[in-house]
Structure 1
Amino acid sequence: MASLGKITRRALLFGAAAVAGGAAFGYWYVATPYSNPLEGDLAEGEATFNPYVKIATDNTITVIAPRAEMGQGISTTLAAMVAEELDVPLEGLKVEHGPASWAYYNAAMIEEGGPFAFYDESVTAEIMRSVMGGVSKIFGLQGTGGSASTRDGFIKMRQAGAAARLMLVAAAATRLQVPAAELETAGAAILHKASGRSLTYGEVAIDAAKLSPPSDPPLKPKSDWTLLGKPQKRVDMLAKVTGAPIFGMDMVLPDMLFGTVKLSPRFWAKPLKADLSKAEKMPGMIKIVPLATNYGHGFGIIAKNTWAAFKAADAIEAEWDVPEYPLDTAAIAKVLTDALSSPDGSAMRDDGDVDVAFADAPAEKLVEAEYWVPYLAHAAMEPMNATARLKDGVLDLWAGNQAPTITRRLCATALQLDEVKVNIHTPSLGGGFGRRVEADFSLCAALMAKETDGRPIKVVWTREQDLRQDAYRPAAAGKFQARLGDDGLPVALDMKVSSPSVIASTLRRLFPSIPPLGPDKTIVDGAYNQPYTIANYRVTGIAAPVTIPVGSWRSVGNSFNGFFHECFMDEIAAAGKTDPVELRKKLMAVYPAAVTVVEKVAAMAKWGEALPAGKAKGIAFTLSFGSWVGEVVQVAQTPSGIRIEKVWIAADVGTALDPGIIEAQLISGAIYGLSAAVGQEITFANGAVEQSNFHDFDAMRIHQCPEFEVAIIENFHKMGGVGEIGTPPAAPALANAIFALTGKRIRSLPLGKEVAFV
């Protein structure tokens, strides 16, 4: 655990601000639930019991799963939580995302935002988690991210189903004139066995909704679960395989116009001059409007069809101001590497006395390395898009987004509307990975809707615009030093990581009135909070002053610190002549969950068994988002290059609510991480992004993907997340396997710049 004294002075600044804010708002505000947003928009014959459940007299049951469905299966798992307690089959429900509402705030998304590791359950750590959850409530942060949706919904969604069931039973008892204790529920019906009489939920829904809901309804024990803990059919699968119009790109409204954007290729830079004459004369053109948002500057093109808008955007000739950041990748890299020598960093972990431990270290006991990772784009398969209609002072916005209340607030501010005049409709997302937390595409559509005289406009970004106007995974540099003991194990470890601050960058765009307070722990996430016990252990994060927009990319700081930390652990093992698996088991011995995962994945991969010539394995472990994950990657040398043959994954998620979805997400996350490791990077020239499409920012193709074997473990007493946890160990396990195969230690990504892959 990190030194509490140093954390208290530095890293608790944000926590102190949160406590002060909580006091200002008052305990009453934090403890009082928000009103039910469903009450004002019920159909005839429909009743609502809480923000998550609606039941109609025809026995139609609708569950609100207020987290973005972007392929991770969250709408299925959240609906199953309600269905479990409501005693209805999953296929007996309709599932909707629901409106933007503070009632759907995601406390778990920022509960772990303090400086404490997930396994730290000290009083101070628990107080901080409580404070951070309160901050989420105060700000009404309805969002999908941080692998937090199941953790946040696990109690509240089940309680919603349980409360509704008890209210329905109470209403049925009154109707049947029998004690409620004599009634049973199953299949959306209430049965009185003694008399053989029954009522459907729909028949008593209106009466039941008038009752006061129980404040703390009892929940089923795990032993009684019939849905949770088992793989379920995805509630959105039929719509997807039949091509139903469920995505933002599918939006069609009467009298609709179409548009796109041309934004400054240099972030934050204004146009010095622009020639719009050619674009304005293009067939199908209607209007070109200037755009200025929290994200920067550019032009919105309004046309009769999307193709006309695209062609007109290409015809705009503009000269842009110089950027506020270095012009090219080399200059950016120098800022990051120079920052490693800055005295301004924050030691998020500082155990023992690192300086003393290194003071007299003989050269032969030292292990030193420097690492680098590039910027990365999200590259969601569905490009950014939004449809907006501003009519009679009301904005309706249809946009696949991960943060409805933030999107609503920013659009309301941009159009000078009250938030109650902004309706956010959230369809399924064709990929998100953190990109659709951002509101840039929604803001552009909202501003363009001001110019269409009440007609709706569907604004679609080109793939090129999408790739060149992202809030990227930041580049990062690392400098690492270890001192080995006589047994080959590290007695001291000093890690310095520099990266642009995701928190500061995100606040600039989403909360421009809030200044960043304290250090940004995302810079060292995946390094400072790993369950390794080393007597002298320091991890320092330095915020590098590069203002290219950066944001939440699948697993955030864990994505690069997993690579840094676990590759350096492999270097320590090699220098100390210790087996990489044994090294991790010894250093994590006081954390049984970690040791079990490492032992399990090693056993699955038959670690230690002799391999044929030209094949090798690498291992990595990362604790992220509350889940303990080990991965082993096997590679093979072929005449054409290195082939990634197989990946083994063991993950302790505490409680596995849907093993099928968990396995799919572990594999998905690993492929996402391997894709970045093999060949992805965003580079800059003359202040602009060089990459433009999948030809120069590609993901792994089907023929490149390895075989996977997954083990899901439920040992730890707290539930972990799932959506991002497969990503952090993927790159280091691959890099470590390449070292085992070739003897070549690659310390920068993408690995494809040093070796060929097939």
Structure 2
Amino acid sequence: MSADVRTNSRTNSRTNPMSRRSFLIAGAVTTGGLLVGCGAPTPQERLGKPADLPVQGDQVALNAWVKISPDGTVTVAVPRAEMGQGVMTSLPMLLAEELDARWEDVRVEAAPIAQVYANEAMMLNALPFGVDDHGWLARTAAGVMQRTGRVLHLQVTGGSSSIRDAWLPLRVVGATARAMLVQAAAQRWQVPASDCRTEAGQVVHSTTGRKLGYGELAADAAKLTPPSDVPLKSPDQFKLIGQAAPRKDIPAKVDGSAQFGVDVRVPGMLYAVPVQAPVFGADVASFDAAEALRMRGVKQVVQIPHAVVVVADSWWRAKQAAAAVKVSWTATPHDQTSSADIARQADEALAQQSGTSFTNRGDAEQVLKDAEAAAKAGGQPGNKPGNKKQTVLQARYHAPYLAHAAMEPINCTAQVKDGAVTVWVSTQSASLAKWRASQVAGVDSERVTLHLPLLGGGFGRRLEVDMVEQAVAVAMQVGGQPVKLLWTREDDTRHDLYRPAAWADFRAVLDGQGQAVAWHNRVAAQSPTYGATKRLLPWAAADSPDKNQIEGAFDLPYDIPNLAVRQVRLKGHVPVGYWRSVGHSYNAFFVECFADEVAHAAGQDPFAWRQARLGQHPRHLAVLERAAKEAGWGQPLPAGRARGIALQEAFGAICAQVAEVSVQGDQVRVHRVVCAIDCGHTVNPDTVEAQMQGAIVFGLSAALFGEVTLAQGRVQQASFTDYPLVKLAHMPRIDVHILRNAHPPGGVGEPGVPPVAPAVANALFALTGQRLRSLPLRLKAA
């Protein structure tokens, strides 16, 4: 038995946790519905008021989302952060489609901070329902969570939710604006509105052929009361949706005029570099800044929580001076903690805790108990003559802490002057950033002005607002001057809010015919939801079940009669948060690799084993079969290559990938990845393909290289030299296949990440016979 395979004969409670979970969800739904009003906000509620959208010159706002200039230019407010995923294009496409605007006339701008722009769909990621869940409880819970998102005013970008949130509301917004423009034209011509139609930014009188441009009608239309009900186009009428549209953000990024947070320049601006505690939880005991203050350009050295900050007239001078500051740090219980210590704590937790049940179908506990007892007795349960021997499989998997490692280091520019705060920050959490700035500065939120440049990568890291806290705290001490706080790459790596390290124990029973009759899985990891909540709202943080920690494991799509999945929540001092695809990022590796183990033990082809168990999930089956077909599954490969396959549903989309790999020396080489995705109704297929490509590179970097380790309480990795990414020379060919259908849109930004690691690991097993159960994937010496 290999060292990373564990045995565990302990049994757990045999209550029906699925029923208990449903009961708890129903209770939460009922309570939440009473608090916030049952049901999702209607699309009409999300029109907002024209006053919510600032206008310039002779622009006219028809609602909170769209304004029209006399020349016919249509400007769409986009309340989601553009970080490469294409929201500056896909969201305006929804509105422009129903408005019948010409794409060439459409402009985009960042929306202001207002409740009407809340991301109501992001809250859906907290619910333990999949794309096949259409029952009363799922629908009601979704409505309550969307209403809660509105009440909390979550103007946030994350959870692959932008299109899911905007799909219906922005189409209604566009259709409502179109109806108002038609009514304005009809009144001017004194004809029935039903005699008019729209096309290419104009209202046309069908009988006479008279035409009026939207720019000519906008002022009159704005005086009308928006209709309460408008018809939407059917998919066969779409002209923009479903077609590849030119990205609105690309030209500025190509010519260099695009402004990211790191590009912000403000007159009189100072620069700040923090010296941060090397051990999580430590604070400043004392510091000596005498040498730093003598250095050229240094203005001040200030203290903020957990850091000393050097302020200078240039970033380079601030960085050089920061190295000269001598800081003594408070002692913590974790000053000597190592990755091995954390692993031992996980071992103890898995040995001592049964965990919280998330799924219980049949009685996996009893089937396992009977099979293990029979194995010890040398026979089958009941010792019935002729019974073939059952097989019990056991394995433990591990995934490490991971950094976000975005190209743009953490930064924020802030000014606190005359009782007002101005912040320039690349953030995924606009409303939270504004609120937190007001909290730190001690002013009303209305006294905070937030500017939102582009993001040079988010991946969940910029859901956090620690950079805002630091920048505002420094700005309060520099006499009203604006100050840009910019972390070094080393700070970015060593002071991240990491993807949790995770461990998974599996046990499965195969009957005498090789059929999987029981599957038991426990996943141990810190809770990202608890970590994020404790940082932002400590009073609201609760050590309660966290769907985000167990997603991708509890919602196993395969038809196995006895299924039990349990969550073990680890305590830990390492700060954790949301990382692109969250719990799916490690659970897909665990589940899809163990599924391969079960298929191999049953003597079945890994694709065929999955295919045979997806009868209740036709969308999953179609995606799996498409990926296998396009990859040429079962067809010969060049010598020294093999294929692996993996499937995962995440964020309302289903993705399957086939990886083709070889081994060159001791290095894993991925030559090709074939990706099939069902993300429901596709808005911009070009963006979907690009997101799959980016997600695969992101996931592949983590699978082959990603690992954050601790020694003596300190993170060991510092930069891309020891936290490497996939280089261009080793970039695989990526083929993306989108399954078109009329289902509601799912997410796209994250679903492409989870299947990469298990597909590669499964291919390596097929090639080498080594079952790698830990990430990053490192082959063992022969």
TM-score of the pair, normalised by structure 1:
0.95
Aligned length: 750
User: Is the 1:634–1:647 Cα contact (8 Å) retained in structure 2?
Assistant: yes
* TM superposition shift of 1:602: 1.0
User: Is the 1:249–1:385 Cα contact (8 Å) retained in structure 2?
Assistant: yes
Instruction: Measure the CA separation in 1 of the matches of 2:523 and 2:39.
Output: 41
* TM superposition shift of 1:621: 0.6
Pair 1:252-2:265 in alignment: yes
Identity of aligned residues (%): 40
* 1:559-608 alpha-carbon deviations (Å, 9 max, x no partner): 00000000000010111111101110112121111111111111111111
- Greater mean alpha carbon deviation, residues 490-499 or residues 191-200: 191-200
User: Is the 2:272–2:318 Cα contact (8 Å) retained in structure 1?
Assistant: yes
Instruction: Measure the CA separation in 1 of the matches of 2:140 and 2:107.
Output: 38
Structure 2 residue runs of 5 or longer lacking an equivalent are 1-13, 376-389
Match of 1:443, as an amino acid?
Answer: E
Pair 1:288-2:301 in alignment: yes
The 3 A distance-change label for structure 1 pair 401 and 682 is: same
Hey, what does 1:431 align to over in structure 2?
Answer: 457
* 1:501-551 alpha-carbon deviations (Å, 9 max, x no partner): 111101011222313263011221111112112111011111101131111
1:45 to 58, 70, 80: 58
Pair 1:510-2:519 in alignment: no
Pair 1:440-2:466 in alignment: yes
* TM superposition shift of 1:749: 0.6
TM-score of the pair, normalised by structure 2:
0.92
Hey, what does 1:621 align to over in structure 2?
Answer: 647
User: Is the 2:772–2:779 Cα contact (8 Å) retained in structure 1?
Assistant: no
Pair 1:269-2:282 in alignment: yes
What does 1:476-555 correspond to in 2, within 5 Å? 476-516=502-542, 518-555=544-581
Hey, what does 2:756 align to over in structure 1?
Answer: 730
Hey, what does 1:633 align to over in structure 2?
Answer: 659
What does 1:448-467 correspond to in 2, within 5 Å? 448-467=474-493
Hey, what does 1:336 align to over in structure 2?
Answer: 346
What does 1:147-166 correspond to in 2, within 5 Å? 147-166=160-179
Pair 1:168-2:177 in alignment: no
The 3 A distance-change label for structure 1 pair 216 and 699 is: farther
Hey, what does 1:54 align to over in structure 2?
Answer: 67
- Greater mean alpha carbon deviation, residues 318-327 or residues 743-752: 318-327
* TM superposition shift of 1:477: 0.6
1:590 to 616, 626, 645: 616
Instruction: Measure the CA separation in 2 of the matches of 1:29 and 1:611.
Output: 51
SS at structure 1 position matched to 2:737: strand
Instruction: Measure the CA separation in 1 of the matches of 2:364 and 2:728.
Output: 46
* TM superposition shift of 1:196: 4.4
User: Is the 1:522–1:557 Cα contact (8 Å) retained in structure 2?
Assistant: yes
1:24 to 16, 29, 35: 35
Pair 1:318-2:344 in alignment: no
Instruction: Measure the CA separation in 1 of the matches of 2:78 and 2:676.
Output: 28
Instruction: Measure the CA separation in 1 of the matches of 2:172 and 2:564.
Output: 42
SS at structure 1 position matched to 2:126: coil
Hey, what does 1:301 align to over in structure 2?
Answer: 310
User: Is the 1:83–1:90 Cα contact (8 Å) retained in structure 2?
Assistant: yes
* 1:323-357 alpha-carbon deviations (Å, 9 max, x no partner): 45571111111112221123361111111111110
* TM superposition shift of 1:754: 4.1
2:406 to 362, 365, 380: 380
Instruction: Measure the CA separation in 1 of the matches of 2:141 and 2:15.
Output: 13
Hey, what does 1:354 align to over in structure 2?
Answer: 364
SS at structure 1 position matched to 2:62: strand
Pair 1:747-2:748 in alignment: no
Pair 1:78-2:88 in alignment: no
* TM superposition shift of 1:274: 1.8
The 3 A distance-change label for structure 1 pair 38 and 285 is: farther
SS at structure 1 position matched to 2:323: helix
The 3 A distance-change label for structure 1 pair 29 and 585 is: closer
SS at structure 2 position matched to 1:282: coil
User: Is the 1:10–1:346 Cα contact (8 Å) retained in structure 2?
Assistant: no
Match of 1:319, as an amino acid?
Answer: S
SS at structure 2 position matched to 1:388: strand
The 3 A distance-change label for structure 1 pair 745 and 15 is: same
* TM superposition shift of 1:139: 0.7
Instruction: Measure the CA separation in 1 of the matches of 2:332 and 2:62.
Output: 53
Hey, what does 2:386 align to over in structure 1?
Answer: none
* 1:487-509 alpha-carbon deviations (Å, 9 max, x no partner): 21210000011000111101011
The 3 A distance-change label for structure 1 pair 592 and 27 is: closer
1:198 to 191, 211, 220: 211
User: Is the 2:284–2:308 Cα contact (8 Å) retained in structure 1?
Assistant: no
User: Is the 1:642–1:755 Cα contact (8 Å) retained in structure 2?
Assistant: no
The 3 A distance-change label for structure 1 pair 38 and 433 is: farther
The 3 A distance-change label for structure 1 pair 131 and 262 is: same
Instruction: Measure the CA separation in 2 of the matches of 1:688 and 1:215.
Output: 59
User: Is the 2:120–2:145 Cα contact (8 Å) retained in structure 1?
Assistant: yes
Match of 2:438, as an amino acid?
Answer: A
2:595 to 569, 577, 596: 569
* TM superposition shift of 1:273: 2.2
What does 1:2-13 correspond to in 2, within 5 Å? 6-7=17-18, 9-10=20-21, 13=24
* TM superposition shift of 1:639: 4.5
SS at structure 1 position matched to 2:351: coil
User: Is the 2:261–2:425 Cα contact (8 Å) retained in structure 1?
Assistant: yes
Aligned residues: CA RMSD: 2.2
* TM superposition shift of 1:320: 2.0
Pair 1:608-2:608 in alignment: no
- Greater mean alpha carbon deviation, residues 340-349 or residues 133-142: 340-349
* TM superposition shift of 1:740: 0.5
